[in-house]
Amino acid sequence: MTVDDREPARTRLVADADVLAADLLVGDAARTALDMVRAHSWLELVATEPLLEDAEAVVRRLADEALADEWRETIADLATIAEQPPGDHPALAAAYRGNAMHIISLDSRLQSANAGANLRAAMDVSIRSPEAFVSVFDPAAIYELVFGTEYPGPDRDPRA
């Protein structure tokens, strides 16, 4: 699936390569954050090919080739792919080109006040660590705001 509309969507989010790898290899808040996406069919994970390649390389280096290959097949079914111009930061390109309103990243440079001020001129995006994302992201509130009806709860198994 691809995206080309420029309006940021509350239901679209980007997990940076570090978060994708941590979800698989470590768990903790990275897994909890991505479990929210996997548990709700109306939330979209947006990525670029270079972002997925970065995460796959980390998994390959820290685990093994078979796990990296299996992960790549699984994430390809979940992620909406956005184009990434050469030289762009993968998570920022995914958010901008994929109209995502949220970035989950462990990169403190992206989470800095300076980065936030600079990005506001170009795009409407919130960048948070997995822990911060989990503490503030409320699927029920987002669902009710976007769809105008009562939140039905998660609609799929995040571990499937």
Residue ranges covered by each domain of the chain: 9-147
pTM here is 0.88
Please give the torsion angle defined by the CA atoms of residues 151, 157, 159 and 160, in that order, rounded to the nearest 10 degrees: -140
pLDDT in tens, the chain (160 residues): 444 456 778 999 999 999 999 999 998 999 999 999 999 999 999 999 999 999 999 999 999 999 999 999 999 889 999 999 888 889 999 999 999 999 999 987 776 666 665 666 666 778 899 999 999 999 999 999 999 999 999 999 888 7
Which of the following CATH numbers is that of domain 9-147: 3.40.50.720, 3.40.50.1010, 3.20.20.100, 3.90.1150.10? 3.40.50.1010
**Contact (Cβ atoms closer than 8 angstroms) between residue 80 and residue 43:** no
Residue that is written with structure tokens 């184009």 in the block: 83
53/90 Cα distance (integer angstroms): 10
Single out the residue of 30, 24, 31 nearest to residue 63, CA to CA: 24
